[in-house]
Amino acid sequence: MASIIIGTGSKIPEKVIHNKDLERFVNTSDEWIRTRTGIVERHIAGEGETNSGLATEAARRALEMAGLSPEEIDLVIVATLTPDMQMPSVACLVQNALGAKNAGAFDLSATCSGFLYGLTIADQFIRHKPSQKILVIGSEVLSKRVNWQDRSTCVLFGDGAGAVVLTGTSEDRGIVSTHLHADGSLWELLNIKGLGTKYPVTPEILEKGYQFIEMNGREVFKHAVRALESVTMEALEGAGWRGEEIDLFVPHQANMRIIEHLRNRLGLSREKVFINIDKYGNTSAASIPIALDEANRAGLLEPGSKVLMVAFGGGFTWGSVAMKW
């Protein structure tokens, strides 16, 4: 018995900020951003657009594809680091907005790896009771946690949501292997220190900019390359696959140079690597489910396709999920 994805959906805010728009308020250039990151534009939540609103719409689209009504959902998991509020969870807001009245709901915090953590948890539930239907969502409004005066971070991130519905199957398909890792000793390299209970809202904390993403890009880059390479190899071993057998590699979209490094390491052609970082930038927990939905709707995934997903993020956290679609 294994867990398969029976529906995908995503919701991207309409408002677009092109690299050229950023040139107007920070000392950067379209050329620098493209060559160092692969990003060309990103979408930003507009007035009144919330994390839970994006997540709900992505979930509706996934449910529609799965042919399920909200009442049939047993559990809603939302991976996010930018919830609407401290309490309640985004998952509860989504559960209510959908009318998923028979579902449990919770958020999980594992930054950019959050969606893969969510898939791994859902897989455990489904192995225990295969008839369950679980929504796993990655959703972020990072634009509200970015310092738009800090060129080293504001060019990188974007907003959006992606969702999948999982259930059990007895066919020879589904999640084959999962691997999760963390190293909290390196948390300072990528963080949002403020607005939690350690640094609550005070004028001093806001003055220090603790409400914003802070990142040592160069160090994070080094660790990300190393961890992603290692977890990719671990995933192949866990699944019993060779690199060239992968039909679609879906890495977290943080930096095109990292993705290219992994592609070369796996010996994959460009068509076998899903890339949309140019359009959306780094949407953290939303990046892989948005990519999966776009790949699915573009007809790149067929039953049995070998899909490998890998992610790395603040914490640090990293992980992989290998599945036969």
Three-state SS for 120-168 is HHHHHHHHHCCCCCEEEEEEEEHHHCCCCCCHHHHCCECEEEEEEEEEE
216 is catalytic: no
* Phi, psi for 109 (deg, rounded to 5): -115, 100
* Cβ nearer to ligand COA, comparing 36 with 208: 36
Q: Can you state the percent helix, strand and coil of the chain, rounding each to 5?
A: 40, 25, 35
- Cβ–Cβ under 8 Å, residues 89 and 83: yes
* Cβ nearer to ligand COA, comparing 34 with 60: 34
Residue 272's H or E segment, with its range, is: none
Which stretches of the chain bind ligand COA, using CB under 6 A?
Answer: 28, 32-33, 36-37, 112, 151-152, 155, 190, 217-218, 220-221, 224, 254-255, 258, 282, 312-313
252 is catalytic: yes
CB of 129 to ligand COA, least distance (A): 34
Catalytic residue (one of 19, 51, 255, 282): 282
* Cβ nearer to ligand COA, comparing 178 with 282: 282
CB of 135 to ligand COA, least distance (A): 24
* Cβ nearer to ligand COA, comparing 218 with 270: 218
CB of 101 to ligand COA, least distance (A): 35
Within 13 Å, how many C-alpha atoms sit on residue 230's CB side? Answer: 11
282 is catalytic: yes
CB of 120 to ligand COA, least distance (A): 19
- Cβ–Cβ under 8 Å, residues 156 and 163: no
Active site (catalytic) residues: 112, 252, 282
